[in-house]
Amino acid sequence: MADRITLQVARYRPDAGPEQTFQEYEIPCRKEWSVLDGLNYIKDHVDGTLAYRWSCRMGICGSCGMNVNGEPKLTCGTFLSHCGSGPVRIEPLRNFPIIRDLIVDISDFMRKLVSVKPWVIRAIEKPLSEGEYRQTPQQHDEYKQFSMCINCMICYSACPVYALDPHFIGPAAIALAQRYNLDSRDEGNAERMDVLSQHEGIWDCTFVGECTKVCPKNVDPAGAIQRYKLSAALDTMTSFFMPRGGR
């Protein structure tokens, strides 16, 4: 492995002009370094003006998602030693407005996340004196995979539907909605279905599957969406043949 490697980093400074440019930095290439470590080296030792997000460095916070050599990845989990001899091209996530350099505006994602109500909804909350809502391990396993989402938005960067139709609610929000629909403690399925059964919800997805392919936590958003489509179709058939108030 070479001692040094070149990072080609996207730069966008709205005060300097409307165009995105690329700046090259030659840095040490250490076996244990991730792409995020390389960016931190640039920030600390070469160019303190470089702007990007990061927090935990452990693949948990989801804030360091960027495009690395054309693919959306968590930079804390992408190692320089796996990038060949370089150069390594680092860009902000696609399909989001760029605020500065590698930082994107996540406002649209946050609005869509809140719209699917990703929390436990109860028709009537029982008193605390009655204790917690218990679950069996099997009930927990039913939604565990979808609960692993860390809101990194990498799936939105890879999703061709979101790229063409920004009104699409998107894979992560739908997967998190499904996480709560499958939770034995939750009673909010009908409320979420009102949002997700719209055209820009589950039916906008064409099942390309890129969201599942790039997910760093193996959440399988594409599977969640298809499962949700089946539930919606069954609900529609049930309401047609067994309307409320009918015989």
Q: According to the model, what pLDDT value does residue 198 have?
A: 87
Question: Span 4-104: which CATH code?
Answer: 3.10.20.30
Predicted confidence at residue 15, as pLDDT, reads 87
Which residues of the chain register pLDDT less than 50?
247
Query: What pLDDT does 85 receive?
Result: 83
Give the closest residue to 178 by CA, choosing from 236, 114, 225.
225
In degrees and rounded to multiples of 5, residue 10 shows phi and psi of: -70, 135
**How far is C-alpha 199 from the geometric centre of its chain's CA atoms?**
21
pLDDT at 98: 97
Per-residue pLDDT, 16: 82
Enter the tokens of residue 175: 């997967």
pLDDT computed for residue 18 by the predictor: 85
pLDDT score of 244: 59
The top-level CATH class assigned to 107-241 is mainly alpha
The amino acid at residue 63 is S
Q: Where are the domains of the chain?
A: 4-104, 107-241
CA distances from 246 to 194, 201, 239 (A): 22, 29, 10
| Torsion angles phi and psi, residue 100, rounded to 5 | -165, 135
